[in-house]
Amino acid sequence: MAKRERCSKRQIEAMIHFIEQHKELIYPGEFPEWEQLKTELNNMEGPTRSIKQWYFKISCSGNHFLR
């Protein structure tokens, strides 16, 4: 299995900023903001991921994004 590419610093910073503005995203569910976040992150230099993969990245990062 190939090793997953790490998020770029720019992607992580954008993710933190977006989550701070949309705190409802810390809860799983259908939010149109997830599509917006996925598109923004995937358009940056770095890996492209699905909404589920980005959510997993956020939820498994020690939740420091969410504090």
Backbone angles phi, psi at 43, to 5 degrees: -80, -10
pTM for the model stands at: 0.75
Determine how many CB atoms are found less than 10 A away from the CB of residue 12: 17
Write down the pLDDT at residue 66. Answer: 47
Output the pLDDT for position 67.
46
DSSP labels, 4-36: PPPPPHHHHHHHHHHHHH-GGGGS-S--HHHHH
pLDDT in tens, 26-55: 776 677 888 999 999 999 999 999 988 888
